[in-house]
A and B are shown apart, each in its own frame.
Chain A
Amino acid sequence: MISRKTFIIVGVVILIIVNIIGLSRIGKTKNSSSGFQRFALYGISPVQSVVSKSIRSFKSVWSNYFLLISVSRENEILRKKLGVVTKEKNKYIEVAYENERLKKLLSFKQNHYFSTKAAKVIGRDMSKWFKTVIIDQGSAQGIRSGLSVVVSEGVVGQVTEVALNHSKVLLIEDRNSAVDALIQRNRARGVIKGESTDRCFLDYALLKNDIRVGDIIISSGLDGLYPKGLRIGKVTKVVRPNAGIFQDVIVTPFVDFEKLEEVLVIQTTKTKSKM
Chain B
Amino acid sequence: MSYLFYLITCVILIIVQTSVFPMIAPQISFYDLILLFIIYLGTYKQLKEGLPSVLIISLVMDSLSGAPMGLYLTAYLWVYFGVRWLGRFLDSGSFILLPVAVASGVLLENIFFVVPFFAGETRFYVTAVAVYRIIVNVLCAVITGPFIIVVMFTVQERWEKIFKYFFKSRSV
**Chain A interface residues (CB < 8 Å from chain B):** 122-132, 134, 160, 168, 170, 174-176, 195, 197, 199, 201, 248, 250, 258-259
Complex CA distance for A259 and B24, rounded to whole angstroms: 11
Residues of A within 8 A of B166 (CB): none
Interface of B is mostly: helix
Beta-carbon nearest neighbor of B114 in chain A = A129
Contact of A197 with B125 at beta-carbon distance under 8 Å, contacts A126-B65, A131-B66 already known: yes
Q: Report Cα–Cα, A129/B129, bound state, in Å.
A: 10
Given contacts A124-B19, A130-B66, 11 further A-B contacts (CB under 8 A): A125-B64, A126-B34, A129-B117, A130-B65, A130-B67, A132-B65, A168-B66, A174-B66, A175-B117, A195-B123, A195-B126
Task: Output the nearest chain B residue to A201 by Cβ-Cβ distance.
Answer: B123
Contact across chains for B61 and A126 when beta carbons are under 8 A apart:
yes
Measured CB to CB, the residues of B under 8 A from A are 14, 17-19, 22, 26-27, 29, 32, 34, 61, 64-67, 110, 113-114, 117, 123, 125-126, 129, 133
Q: How near does chain A come to B27, taking the closest CB pair, in angstroms?
A: 6
With A127-B113, A128-B29, A197-B125 as known contacts, state yes or no: A134 contacts B18, CB within 8 Å.
Answer: yes
| Complex CA distance for A132 and B63, rounded to whole angstroms | 12
A126-B123 CB under 8 A given contacts A168-B66, A259-B26: no
Contact B32 A127 (CB under 8 A): yes
Nearest CB of B to A121, in Å: 9
Interface centre among A124, A126, A130, by most chain B C-beta atoms within 10 angstroms, is A126
State the Cβ distance, A93 to closest chain B Cβ, in Å.
16
Q: Is the CB of A127 within 8 A of B65?
A: yes
A205 to chain B, nearest CB (A): 14
Which of A134, A197, A201, A250 is the most central at the interface, judged by chain B CB atoms within 10 Å of its CB?
A197
Chain A residues, CB < 8 A from B114: 129
- CB-defined contacts of A175 to chain B, threshold 8 Å: 117
A4 to B85, CA, bound (A): 126
Beta-carbon contact of B66 and A199 below 8 Å: no
Interchain CA distance A126-B19 in the complex, whole Å: 9
Which of B17, B117, B125, B129 is the one whose CB lies under 8 Å from A126? Answer: B17
How far apart are the CA atoms of A126 and B18 in the complex, in Å? 5
Residues from chain A with a CB closer than 8 A to the CB of B17 are: 126
A-chain residues with CB within 8 Å of residue B110 when the two chains form the complex: 129
Q: Which residues of B contact A127 (CB under 8 A)?
A: 32, 65, 67, 113
Question: A126 touching B32 by the CB < 8 A rule?
Answer: yes
Closest to B68 in A: A176
